[in-house]
Amino acid sequence: MPETPGLAPSDALSTLTSDCAPRAAAGRAVVLGSTSRYRRELLARLALPFEVEAPEVDETPQPAERPEALARRLALAKARAVAARHPAAAVIGSDQVADLDGEPLGKPGTHARAVEQLRRMQGRTVVFQTALAVVCQATGFEQVDLAPVRVRFRTLSDLEIEAYLRAEQPYDCAGSAKSEGLGIALLESIDSDDPTALVGLPLIRTCRLLRAAGVRLIA
């Protein structure tokens, strides 16, 4: 769900490299093409050294583009954009789009739009389409995968919606809900085969694609 700017790439790299120095030579270098601190924190769970770089990709949906297609296209575009600057590395790109009956719901940006989104989603099932791409230009490796997460929202009162938004302010989150925070109280159920996908980076799929790209995950 969430996407917010995190540490500056140089700060993130120095922190992660020092923590993971014993594994710095474990296969191909890794670059995360994202400014999301949530994705950076998730990738850090793998204890791999990695760089962080902003992909600077236009995320405007194309006309009539379905949410899963949008997520796949943007994840690959982000990975390709950063891979062009790091051709020898395995570059990770990811994107998430909330899918309400085939309509993409992006980050609300404002309180009013977040209220509107949650009113529409309350009592309904929303599929959070989380796409992942890994690209290595040097070897011609390029793969994209999708981790759909089915989320059932409770029936919510306007008072609950207002109180939640004032407390969490999730205006940079697709679908206006942060499941790793108070947003979990808005939900009835979560159905996913990749537990971290809803937060923004499906680590099971990430591991699979990194291995395929030549990254040694367990020395």
Q: What is the pLDDT of residue 6?
A: 35
Please indicate whether residue 95 is annotated as part of the active site: yes
**From CA 54, how far away is CA 170, in angstroms rounded?**
21
pLDDT at 8 over 60: no
Closest CA to 1 of 106, 156, 78: 106
pTM, full prediction = 0.84
Question: What confidence category does residue 16 fall into, taking pLDDT thresholds of 50, 70 and 90?
Answer: very low
Q: What is the pLDDT of residue 128?
A: 96
- Let me know: does 199 contact 147? Beta carbons within 8 Å: no
Q: Sketch out the chain's domains with CATH numbers.
A: 9-212 (3.90.950.10)
- Let me know: does 75 contact 95? Beta carbons within 8 Å: yes
Question: What confidence category does residue 2 fall into, taking pLDDT thresholds of 50, 70 and 90?
Answer: low
pLDDT at 166 over 50: yes
**From CA 27, how far away is CA 23, in angstroms rounded?**
9
Catalytic residue among 11, 19, 58, 95: 95
